[in-house]
Amino acid sequence: MTPTGSTHVGEQPAESCGEIRTGLAEVDGALALFVQRGDQLSKDIGELKHDVEVLKRNRRPLPVLGAVAGLGSLGVTVRPRRPRAGASDTEPARAVRPGLPE
């Protein structure tokens, strides 16, 4: 004769073991997902570091840009003036202001 409570006691450890295994499988799945995301983030960070290095290599320093702009404005300022159309070489060139009558 088996007591009525003995079959109930034998089922509890089996159910608990199944629940623990299910929980561990869920935790393993979550950890695998975190590892995959971490690997993707590492890859993305590596690509961004490479892009930053390329940008650093290809940038122009500000003093060089300032010097080029200065030389350009100097060239525009010093360039020789062309005589007006119809003016002779002996006649001095007059400054023409826009909007004023000649």
pLDDT digits (tens, 9 = 90+) for 15-58: 888 899 999 999 999 999 999 999 999 999 999 999 999 998 88
Contact status, residue 87 vs residue 93, Cβ threshold 8 Å: yes
User: When comparing pLDDT for 59 and 90, which is higher?
Assistant: 59
The alpha carbon of residue 96 and the mean position of all alpha carbons in its chain are separated, in whole angstroms, by: 51
Percentage of the chain beyond pLDDT 90 is 40
Range 20-53 burial, b when 16+ CB lie within 10 A, else e = eeeeeeeeeeeeeeeeeeeeeeeeeeeeeeeeee
Residue 65 has a pLDDT of 83
Instruction: Tell me what the pLDDT averaged over the chain comes to.
Output: 80
pTM of the model: 0.44
Contact status, residue 93 vs residue 83, Cβ threshold 8 Å: yes
How many residues would you count in the chain? Answer: 102
